[in-house]
Amino acid sequence: MKRWQFLISVFCLGFITACSAGTPNQTEETFDAAAFIEEITPNVECLNSCEIELFGADVDFDDEYWAAYTSEEAYADLLGEVAILYKPEQETELSGYYLDPAVVSYYPVKNFKSNAEVEAYLKQYLSDQVIADKFHQDFLEYEGTLYLRRGAKGYGAVTCDIDSLSFVETKEDYYYVNMDYLLFDEYDSTVMLEFQKIDGAWILTDIIEETL
What's the pLDDT score for residue 83? Answer: 97
Query: Sheet of 105-108: strands edge to edge?
Result: 105-108, 145-150, 139-142
pLDDT at 7 over 50: no
Q: Which amino acid is at 93?
A: E
Residue 166 lies in a domain: yes
Final residue of a structural domain among 106, 122, 150? 150
Q: What average pLDDT is seen over the chain?
A: 88
pLDDT at 63 over 70: yes
Q: Which amino acid is at 72?
A: E
Q: Do 125 and 174 reside in the same domain of the chain?
A: no
Q: Do 103 and 168 reside in the same domain of the chain?
A: no
Q: Assign 11 a pLDDT band (cuts: 50, 70, 90).
A: very low
State mean pLDDT over 27-41.
85
CB atoms within 10 A of CB 108: 19
Q: Do 118 and 184 reside in the same domain of the chain?
A: no
pLDDT digits (tens, 9 = 90+) for 140-190: 999 999 999 998 777 889 999 999 999 999 999 999 999 999 999 999 999
Q: Are 197 and 174 in contact (CB under 8 A)?
A: no
What's the pLDDT score for residue 54? Answer: 97
Q: Which 8-state DSSP code applies to residue 200?
A: T
Please tell me whether residue 198 adopts helix, strand or coil conformation.
Answer: strand
Q: Do 165 and 108 reside in the same domain of the chain?
A: no
What's the pLDDT score for residue 29? Answer: 65
Q: Do 137 and 105 reside in the same domain of the chain?
A: yes
Q: Assign 3 a pLDDT band (cuts: 50, 70, 90).
A: very low
Q: Which amino acid is at 120?
A: A
Q: Are 98 and 57 in contact (CB under 8 A)?
A: no
Containing domain of residue 72, as a range?
66-150
Q: Are 204 and 40 in contact (CB under 8 A)?
A: yes
Q: Who has greater pLDDT, 28 or 121?
A: 121
pLDDT at 209 over 50: yes
Q: Assign 25 a pLDDT band (cuts: 50, 70, 90).
A: very low
As for how many domains the chain has, the answer is: 2
How many angstroms separate the CA atoms of 192 and 168, rounded? 9
Q: Are 179 and 161 in contact (CB under 8 A)?
A: yes
How many angstroms separate the CA atoms of 158 and 169, rounded? 26
Q: Do 129 and 99 reside in the same domain of the chain?
A: yes
The alpha-carbon radius of gyration of the chain (Å, integer) is: 28
The reported pTM is 0.82
Q: What do you get for the CA distance between the two ends of the chain, in Å?
A: 72
Final residue of a structural domain among 131, 150, 169? 150
Q: Do 182 and 140 reside in the same domain of the chain?
A: no
How many angstroms separate the CA atoms of 150 and 104, rounded? 6
Residue 55 lies in a domain: no
pLDDT at 137 over 90: no
Residue 176 lies in a domain: yes
How many angstroms separate the CA atoms of 120 and 111, rounded? 12
CB atoms within 10 A of CB 50: 20
